Structures are given as C-alpha cells and as structure tokens.
Amino acid sequence: MGFLSGLLKASLLWFSLPFVFSDSRTQSTDGVTCPHHRGSDPSDVNARVKKLANQDIYYADDPDYKYKISICQKNSLEDTAVQQFGKKWPENKPWVVVGRYKNAHVTGGTNWLMIKYFNGDKYQHHCNGVERLAAVLVTCDPGEKRGSIKVIEEYRNSTKDDRRYNVPLECYYLFELNHDAACTDILSSSQLFITLIM
C-alpha cells in the first residue's frame, strides 16, 4: 500500500511540474502569446489583454530615445517586447532591450491594465546595473481598436539602493496606451448618469 501511495504522489508531482515552471504567458488560438495574470482573475484581465494579440508594433519617442513596443509575442524565437534606441546613437548600434516576454505579467482593474516586462538589458551607468523594466499602462478608450502609445517617463529615483533611509532602488520605463482592451463591462458613474438622462 505504501508503494502505491508513493507512486501516486510521485506521478502527481511529475505531472504538476510543467505548471509550476510555466511562465506567465497565455497563448491565443492564432499562436500569439500574451502576458498573463497568474492566480484568480476577478476582473477578467486575461481575456482583456488577449484583445491586444493582433496589434502590430507600436512606436513611441521622447526627446532622446525612440522605442518599439510589441504587447504580445507573435514569434516564439523573438523574446523582446520593448526596445530603446538613442536618437544620437550610430545607426549600426543595436537596440537596447528594455523588457522581454519571459515572466511578463499583467494586472488590472476597472478600465485599466498594467503590463510589466522584466529581464531587460542591464543599465550600464545607472541604477546599480540592474536589469531594465518596462511597464505599459493600458487605459480604457471605448471603441478604440488600435490606440497610440506614448512615453510617460523613464524613472530612476536613485543611482544606489540606500537602505539607511529605506529608499529602494526603483528604475523603470513607463508607457501609456489607450485601447478598448482595458475597458470593463461595468459602466462608470458618469456613463451611467449620461445614460439615465437620455
């Protein structure tokens, strides 16, 4: 009896390993892989982010850099979600990876989604050489099927982690995208008020 019990436990562990080590992406029916929310999903984040699956690359820029952002992974051989290129850099210099699809995570609430892409190239001269991180805030824009993306900030609060003052090292790139995917089915109070007046 002990042998069969042990064999059953070992089998269950073996079959559960792919789920433990799986990354936080979900594949849609057309082979496109989007960031995924792990755990309970009360605001239906995973279904909403899939609405971004077929979008082409978004382009954004600020005074010093230009960016390429691809929300969902269309090619399993390409792991780069967010890239940066300096406007004054030589053309033959490679783009810097700001975030990759591996371990990407999405969370959200009423009329917004936040997608985080980790594992970017390490900073050379800032942020203690930590890996770059990109966050894309998707805001609700009813009916908008493409949207446009803009750079909000590259944030670096410190060049070192100063634990004496309990100030953590925080470095990230923040983008904002307006899109219908972020919209929830719940009417906001202002939308409800307008509907009631009509």
Residue pLDDT tens, the chain, 198 long:
444 444 333 333 333 333 333 344 555 547 899 999 988 888 899 999 999 999 999 999 999 999 999 999 999 999 999 999 999 999 999 999 999 999 999 999 999 999 999 999 999 888 888 999 999 999 999 999 999 999 999 998 755 555 566 555 689 999 999 999 999 975 554 554 454 455
**What's the structural domain count of the chain?**
1
CATH number of the domain bearing residue 165: 2.70.130.10
190 within a domain of the structure (yes/no): yes
What the block records as the tokens of 196 is: 């009631």
By residue range, what is the domain housing residue 152? 24-197
Q: What is the distance between the alpha carbons of residues 188 and 36, in angstroms, rounded to a whole number?
A: 25
Q: What is the distance between the alpha carbons of residues 68 and 53, in angstroms, rounded to a whole number?
A: 16
In angstroms, the first-to-last Cα distance of the chain is 71
Q: Whole-structure pTM over 0.85, yes or no?
A: no
167 within a domain of the structure (yes/no): yes
